[in-house]
């Protein structure tokens, strides 16, 4: 059932029809049911699904970490031939020994902050194996070298907070590998990392898989990531395994409507709003208590559901040997018509009409946002020391035309958020000029005129903190309406209900409190609140990063729709390059407080690239195993903005200057690069001439052969 | 507009139901904790007997029975009498009145809400304001406010009480002032720490990008979200205030005689403990202890239960 490379199926873990319940005050809740899969040596099984679908519960079930109220109520888990279900904690310890290890999402919490890394690593060995401390130490050093850590001897004496997030995760992985486990369970190991770091960690996992021949379970919500690392896929929905099969098979020929929906609702890298549309899955993952018991669990959200689907919970149908789908129409789903029509987002292309007008809505020149850094020295205590600045945004010039969308991308710590905070007046601007609607807007928000304030509003990242938990949805949307007097007093409530409708929420939400809403609904209310003052410019700071993919698509569609109806301009910040590409007309790539490349969206994603853009693009996980992507990895992290590198700020990590510039790119270390302008206002800040940059191959290629 | 009318009708019902539902969910949280229920029972016992004091006793607290001084419990006087033959039960529940239900401003003018409650409320107003300002503005404003409050906290509480009362003289209003001065720094610290956390939330950013003024943000956006811990802290503080009133009364710095005051009752009754009639000192001591313990249980139970709900 496997494609070529992997070893013969030497099964390490065999999960069969697993069922896990949680006891709560309201009775037992079915967290996981009907999950079966097998992991062989040297194989990776990916568990994908949105949050709340029971992925982590499976992992905890395998290692018996379910907590006081969780219990396995059915099925088997066989590890290396031994049954794990129904054994006591002591027996389990003996059976599993040190043969299963786990890697979690947050490396900060996996490492003890008050113990040196070396001690933590060595302890794993001295605890499980009967070996001396010295030998354990030696082996730890070797393992750290194996996970590509630099300067290993020094590292052993450091604490976890002294290394970066990506390095921490490498240490955690090294720790998991130390005992040479037969099974490694990874629960969202790269979710907390930047794309560039994530790509490097995924590369490492791939290498380790080949070297150590362990069985891997990889849990993630990100289809792109799973496409890169897995051989075999299990799609989870609301506690059930709805589809399983070889990775490529599922991506090419999904047979469950949920899998099809998941694949259709993420933009591929290069997709744009002009030519394609995202198809969100309606509704949301039902909480465990509300899951239908007597019908297909996905039926309420399914576009293909018929009466028959509502009769009973379907079993697994075998599509081809090894490919199972929990749908009664699995064999014919490709040919079936949708039983429910989708609401069309009308004429998404109409949007393209906005010409590149000369009318700038927002223009800023040489914008600088610095934070002063308090020095700890005695001299500075008396105000005599040299003041240091974190140059979060340093000399950035951009213009945003009316009705267009500017996307801003870059790793975390590149100054994206500081840039918009400076624009909107939440952070004082250190230097430069901001002109908004022809007016000078250099002052903080408290000193701005109300008329100016109402034209610039913001949508925030975190759905859980974007709404004030003490007030109802209605009164939170009404507040800006009252404040800016958008409508006469008597009509405020009508206006709120109109806005609720505009963001596709029913008027009954007026009285709801934020805690009664799901993440996507909260984000919609946040958008409605930003729209309430009818602003000309909406700044979206990672508005969809914290949402599940199916909800994310709906929110993106909503924002596009709103832009059409209200004609507002937007600044869209995101770290997901596929989303930014999809959403924006123009894109600015930021690195360490500076814009390194700016231009129309389609131009950014094709050569000539700035080397940084090229590296970012090649790191994006693409949810399509047939796409070939260049492997260009950046070393290290974004340097400190307190003391940015001289010359070109990117020279410390630049993968191109050695090969493409004479003299190994000495010039990059000393001189600030010039702006190189290609056609259509596409500008690149680099020493490498455009002609050279043009010769680079595109990052993404669709593989023609079949694997 | 037809649409809005249709929408408005169910909305009104929704609001009422929502309020009831909110109250019910609050009560159900309280009832879920056994500790809180015990605490509530004790506190309610005192509140009810104090509020309806005249219904629970045939005597007034000042009525003297010369024939029966320093007696133990009997059918005429269920808890006994003090050295002047006054009924201890009457004095006890009228004393609870001063603490929990009514505050004497002058002889004839009584303010609803007990002295201890008023002390905590006024302390909350000052403490919350200082904490909000310090926490929200930060910088040197915060530095000044917090250092001043630290300085106040450095003085031992009992000494501070005695200094204030000695300077102001004994009266209910001055007891409130003393409780306020002593309580403010602690409340300010609590509110400040809550503010420091809440002000980083994005809905505060949203209010700022709306150009709201700082007072609106502090009192309308931050304070309501800090209410949980503040309410629990306030319950504990009412307990401390009752304790403080008892102490002041015992030292003769509390509410002036002859009005019934638990502290001064203990002080008077103390002389007769060894002569075989400990009742006059014992009952008010038990009253103070039970009320303080009751409030603590209530606060602890609520805190535990509300934590579990998160």
DSSP string for residues in B144-163: HHHHHHHHHHHS-HHHHHHH
Residue B98's closest CA among B232, B225, B223, B265? B265
| Residue A520 near residue A463, CB atoms below 8 Å | yes
CA A561 to chain CA centroid, Å, is 23
Q: Which two tokens stand for residue A135?
A: 């030998």
How far is B250 from B242, CA to CA, in rounded Å? 12
The partner residues of A391 in beta bridges, in order of sequence, read: A370
Residue B14 has pLDDT above 60, yes or no: no
A372, A424, A468: which to substitute to probe chain B, counting the most B Cβ within 10 Å?
Answer: A468
How far is B2 from B12, CA to CA, in rounded Å? 16
DSSP line for A479-499:
HHHHHHT-S-GGGHHHHHHHH
Task: Determine whether the interchain pair B209/A446 forms a contact, defined as Cβ–Cβ distance below 8 Å.
Answer: no
pLDDT at B72: 79
Conformation bin of residue A217: beta by default, left when phi > 0, alpha when psi is -120 to 50: beta
pLDDT at B73: 83
| Half-sphere exposure of residue A497: CA atoms within 13 angstroms, side-chain side | 17
Q: Which of A480, A497, A508 sits opposite B210 (nearest CB)?
A: A480
pLDDT per position as a tens digit, A162-214: 888 888 888 998 888 888 888 999 988 888 788 888 888 888 888 888 888 88
CB count in 10 Å sphere of residue B259: 18
Residue B279's closest CA among B54, B74, B44, B96? B74
Share of chain A above pLDDT 90, in %: 14
User: What does each C-alpha distance from B123 to B186, B187, B247 come to in angstroms?
Assistant: 9, 8, 19
Residue A516 has pLDDT above 90, yes or no: no
Task: Determine whether the interchain pair A508/B1 forms a contact, defined as Cβ–Cβ distance below 8 Å.
Answer: no
Closest CA–CA distance from residue A88 to any residue of chain B (Å): 29
How many Å is the maximal CA-CA distance in chain B?
A: 84
Closest CA–CA distance from residue A493 to any residue of chain B (Å): 8
pLDDT per position as a tens digit, A268-325: 777 787 777 788 888 778 877 778 888 888 888 888 888 888 888 888 888 888 899 9
pLDDT at B18: 56
How far is A49 from A46, CA to CA, in rounded Å? 10
pLDDT at A539: 93
User: Nearest-5° angle of CA A675, CA A680, CA A683?
Assistant: 15
Closest CA–CA distance from residue B7 to any residue of chain A (Å): 7
Which residues of chain A neighbour B206 with C-beta distances below 8 Å?
458, 460, 466, 526, 529-530
Q: Give the three-state DSSP class for B72.
A: coil
Name the pLDDT band for A3 (thresholds 50, 70, 90): very low
Which residues of chain A neighbour B8 with C-beta distances below 8 Å?
493
Which residues of chain A neighbour B1 with C-beta distances below 8 Å?
494
pLDDT at B177: 92
pLDDT per position as a tens digit, A36-48: 999 998 899 999 9
pLDDT at A706: 43
Name the pLDDT band for A557 (thresholds 50, 70, 90): confident
Cis bond upstream, residue B258 (ω within 30): yes
Task: Determine whether the interchain pair B209/A511 forms a contact, defined as Cβ–Cβ distance below 8 Å.
Answer: no
Q: Which two tokens stand for residue A295?
A: 């019908």
Residue A346 has pLDDT above 80, yes or no: no
User: CATH top-level class for A357-588?
Assistant: alpha beta
| Closest B-chain CA to A480 | B210
DSSP line for A237-301:
ETTEEEEEEEHHHHHHS--SHHHHHHHHSSPPTT--TTT----PPSS-PPPGGGS-SSS-TTGGG
User: Is B5 near chain A, with CB under 8 Å?
Assistant: no
pLDDT at A5: 40
How many residues are there in chain A? Answer: 707
Mean pLDDT, residues A354-373: 76
Q: Which two tokens stand for residue A3?
A: 């494609």
How far is A637 from A635, CA to CA, in rounded Å? 7
The partner residues of A22 in beta bridges, in order of sequence, read: A29, A70
Task: Determine whether the interchain pair B209/A425 forms a contact, defined as Cβ–Cβ distance below 8 Å.
Answer: yes
Name the pLDDT band for A383 (thresholds 50, 70, 90): low
Which residues of chain B neighbour A466 with C-beta distances below 8 Å?
202-203, 206
How many residues are there in chain B? Answer: 310
Task: Determine whether the interchain pair B209/A424 forms a contact, defined as Cβ–Cβ distance below 8 Å.
Answer: yes
Q: Which two tokens stand for residue B192?
A: 């400040």
Task: Determine whether the interchain pair A445/B208 forms a contact, defined as Cβ–Cβ distance below 8 Å.
Answer: yes
Beta-carbon contacts of B196 under 8 Å, excluding residues fewer than 6 positions away, are: B135
Closest CA–CA distance from residue A466 to any residue of chain B (Å): 5
| Residue A262 near residue A623, CB atoms below 8 Å | no
Closest CA–CA distance from residue A241 to any residue of chain B (Å): 30
Task: Determine whether the interchain pair A453/B1 forms a contact, defined as Cβ–Cβ distance below 8 Å.
Answer: no
A445, A465, A473: which to substitute to probe chain B, counting the most B Cβ within 10 Å?
Answer: A465
Q: ipTM of this model? A: 0.80
Q: Which two tokens stand for residue A504?
A: 């596709």
User: What does each C-alpha distance from A656 to A481, A595, A628, A668 come to in angstroms?
Assistant: 52, 18, 20, 11
Of B150 and A629, the structure prediction assigns the larger pLDDT to: B150
Q: Which two tokens stand for residue A368?
A: 């600088």
| Closest A-chain CA to B7 | A507
User: Is B211 near chain A, with CB under 8 Å?
Assistant: yes
In this structure, the dihedral spanned by the alpha carbons of residues B125, B128, B132 and B133, taken in order and rounded to 10 degrees, is: 50
Closest CA–CA distance from residue B219 to any residue of chain A (Å): 12
Domains along chain B with CATH numbers: 17-309 (1.10.3720.10)
| Half-sphere exposure of residue A207: CA atoms within 13 angstroms, side-chain side | 12
In this structure, the dihedral spanned by the alpha carbons of residues A13, A16, A17 and A20, taken in order and rounded to 10 degrees, is: -40
How far is A609 from A587, CA to CA, in rounded Å? 13
Q: Which two tokens stand for residue A452?
A: 């100016």
Closest CA–CA distance from residue B214 to any residue of chain A (Å): 9
Residue B9 has pLDDT above 60, yes or no: no
How far is A641 from A392, CA to CA, in rounded Å? 6
Which residues of chain A neighbour B208 with C-beta distances below 8 Å?
426, 445
pLDDT at A412: 81
Residue A385 has pLDDT above 70, yes or no: no
Name the pLDDT band for A348 (thresholds 50, 70, 90): very low
| Closest B-chain CA to A462 | B202
B5, B198, B211, B231: which to substitute to probe chain A, counting the most A Cβ within 10 Å?
Answer: B211
Task: Determine whether the interchain pair B206/A445 forms a contact, defined as Cβ–Cβ distance below 8 Å.
Answer: no
Task: Determine whether the interchain pair B1/A426 forms a contact, defined as Cβ–Cβ distance below 8 Å.
Answer: no
Looking at every residue in chain A, the average pLDDT score rounds to 84
Q: Which of A424, A445, A462 sits opposite B202 (nearest CB)?
A: A462
pLDDT per position as a tens digit, A603-632: 888 888 899 999 888 888 888 888 888 888
pLDDT per position as a tens digit, A88-142: 888 887 777 678 888 888 888 888 889 999 999 898 888 877 788 889 999 899 8
Reported in sequence order, the residue ranges of A544-608 that DSSP labels E, i.e. its strands, are 569-573, 586-591, 594-600
pLDDT at A318: 85
pLDDT per position as a tens digit, B221-271: 999 999 889 999 999 999 999 988 898 888 888 887 777 888 888 888 888
Which residues of chain A neighbour B212 with C-beta distances below 8 Å?
483
Name the pLDDT band for A357 (thresholds 50, 70, 90): low
Residue A526's closest CA among A484, A576, A476, A573? A476
Query: Is residue A39 within a helix (H) or strand (E), and if so which, with residue range?
Result: strand A27-40
């Amino acid at each position: 059932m496997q494609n070529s490379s992997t070893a013969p199926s030497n099964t390490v873990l065999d999960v069969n029809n697993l069922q896990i319940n949680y006891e709560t005050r309201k009775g037992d809740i079915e967290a996981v049911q009907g999950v079966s899969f097998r992991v062989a040596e040297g194989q990776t099984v990916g568990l994908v699904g949105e949050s709340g679908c029971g992925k982590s519960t499976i992992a905890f079930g395998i290692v018996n970490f379910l907590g006081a109220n969780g219990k396995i109520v059915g099925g088997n888990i066989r590890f290396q031939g031994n049954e794990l279900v129904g054994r006591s904690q002591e027996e389990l310890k003996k059976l599993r020994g040190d043969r299963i290890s786990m890697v979690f999402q947050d490396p900060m919490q996996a490492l003890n902050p008050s113990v040196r890394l070396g001690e933590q690593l060595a302890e794993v060995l001295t605890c499980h194996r009967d070996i001396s401390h010295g030998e354990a130490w030696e082996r730890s050093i070797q393992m750290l070298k194996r996970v590509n850590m630099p300067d290993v001897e020094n590292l052993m004496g450091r604490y976890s907070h002294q290394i970066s997030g990506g390095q921490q995760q490498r240490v955690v992985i090294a720790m998991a590998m130390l005992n040479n486990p037969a099974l490694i369970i990874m629960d969202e190991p790269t979710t907390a990392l930047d794309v560039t770091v994530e790509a490097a960690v995924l590369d490492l996992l791939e290498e380790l898989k080949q070297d150590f021949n362990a069985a891997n379970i990889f849990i993630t919500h990100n289809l792109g990531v799973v496409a890169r690392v897995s051989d075999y896929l299990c799609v989870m929905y609301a506690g059930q395994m709805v589809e399983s099969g070889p990775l490529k098979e599922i991506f090419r020929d999904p047979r469950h409507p949920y899998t099809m929906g998941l694949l259709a609702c993420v933009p591929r890298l290069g997709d744009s709003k002009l030519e394609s549309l995202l198809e969100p899955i309606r509704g949301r993952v039902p909480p465990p208590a509300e899951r239908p018991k007597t019908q297909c669990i996905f039926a309420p959200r399914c576009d293909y559901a018929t009466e028959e689907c509502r009769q009973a919970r379907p079993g697994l149908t075998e599509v081809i040997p090894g490919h199972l789908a929990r749908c009664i129409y699995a064999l014919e789903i490709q040919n079936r018509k949708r039983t429910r029509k989708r609401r069309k987002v009308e004429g998404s292309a109409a949007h393209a009409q906005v010409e590149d007008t000369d009318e700038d809505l927002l223009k800023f020149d040489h914008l600088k946002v610095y934070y002063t850094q308090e020095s700890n020295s005695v001299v500075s205590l008396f105000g005599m020391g040299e003041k240091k600045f974190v140059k979060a945004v340093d000399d950035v010039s951009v213009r945003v035309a009316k009705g267009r969308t500017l996307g801003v991308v870059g790793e975390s710590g590149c100054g994206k958020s500081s840039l918009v905070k400076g624009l909107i007046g939440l952070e004082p601007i250190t230097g430069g000029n901001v002109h908004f609607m022809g007016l000078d807007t250099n002052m903080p928000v408290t000193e701005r005129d109300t008329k100016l304030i109402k034209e610039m509003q913001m949508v925030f990242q975190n759905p859980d903190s974007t709404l004030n938990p003490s007030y109802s949805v209605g009164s939170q949307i009404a507040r800006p309406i009252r404040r800016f007097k958008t409508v006469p007093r008597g009509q405020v409530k009508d206006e709120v209900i109109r806005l609720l409708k505009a963001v596709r929420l029913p008027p009954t939400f007026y009285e709801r409190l934020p805690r009664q809403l799901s993440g996507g609904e909260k984000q919609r209310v946040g958008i409605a609140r930003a729209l309430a003052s009818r602003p000309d410019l909406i700044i979206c700071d990672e508005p969809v990063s914290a949402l599940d993919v199916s909800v994310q698509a709906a929110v993106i569609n909503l924002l596009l729709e709103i832009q059409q109806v209200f004609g507002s301009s937007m600044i869209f910040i995101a770290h997901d390059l596929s989303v930014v590409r999809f959403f924006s007309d123009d894109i600015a790539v930021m690195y360490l407080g500076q814009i390194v490349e700016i231009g129309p969206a389609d131009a950014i994603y094709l050569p000539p690239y700035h080397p940084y853009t090229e590296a970012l693009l090649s790191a994006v996980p693409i949810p399509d195993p047939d796409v070939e992507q260049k492997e260009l990895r950046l070393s290290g992290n974004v340097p400190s903005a307190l003391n940015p590198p001289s010359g070109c700020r990117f020279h410390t990590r630049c993968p191109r200057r050695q090969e493409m510039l004479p003299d190994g790119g000495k010039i990059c270390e000393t001189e600030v690069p010039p702006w190189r302008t290609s056609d259509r206002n596409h500008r690149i800040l680099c020493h490498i001439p455009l002609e050279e940059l043009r010769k680079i191959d595109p990052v993404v290629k669709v593989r023609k052969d079949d694997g | 507009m037809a649409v809005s009318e249709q929408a408005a009708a169910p909305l009104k019902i929704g609001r009422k139901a929502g309020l009831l539902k909110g109250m019910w969910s609050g009560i159900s949280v309280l009832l879920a904790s056994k500790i809180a229920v015990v605490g509530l029972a004790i506190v309610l016992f005192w509140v009810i007997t104090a509020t309806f004091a005249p219904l629970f006793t045939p005597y007034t607290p000042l009525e003297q029975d010369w024939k029966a001084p320093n007696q133990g419990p009997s059918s005429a006087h269920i808890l006994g009498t003090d050295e002047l033959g006054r009924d201890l039960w009457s004095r006890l529940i009228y004393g609870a009145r001063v603490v929990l239900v009514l505050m004497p401003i002058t002889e004839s003018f009584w303010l609803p809400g007990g002295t201890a409650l008023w002390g905590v409320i006024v302390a909350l107003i000052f403490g919350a304001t200082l904490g909000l300002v310090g926490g929200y503005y930060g910088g040197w404003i915060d530095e000044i406010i917090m250092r001043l409050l630290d300085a106040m906290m450095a003085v031992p509480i009992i000494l501070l009480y005695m200094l204030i009362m000695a300077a102001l003289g004994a009266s209910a209003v001055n007891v409130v002032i003393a409780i306020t001065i002593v309580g403010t720094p602690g409340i300010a610290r609590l509110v400040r720490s809550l503010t420091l956390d809440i002000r980083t939330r994005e809905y505060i950013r949203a209010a700022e990008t709306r150009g709201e003024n700082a007072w609106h943000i502090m009192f309308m956006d931050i304070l309501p979200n800090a209410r949980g811990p503040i309410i629990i802290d306030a319950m504990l503080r009412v307990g401390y205030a009752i304790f403080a009133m008892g102490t002041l009364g015992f030292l003769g710095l509390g509410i002036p005689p002859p009005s019934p005051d638990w502290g001064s009752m203990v002080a008077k009754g103390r002389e007769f403990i060894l002569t075989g009639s400990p009742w006059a000192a014992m009952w008010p001591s038990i009253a103070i202890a039970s009320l303080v313990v009751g409030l603590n249980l209530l606060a602890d139970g609520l805190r535990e239960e509300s934590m579990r709900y998160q």
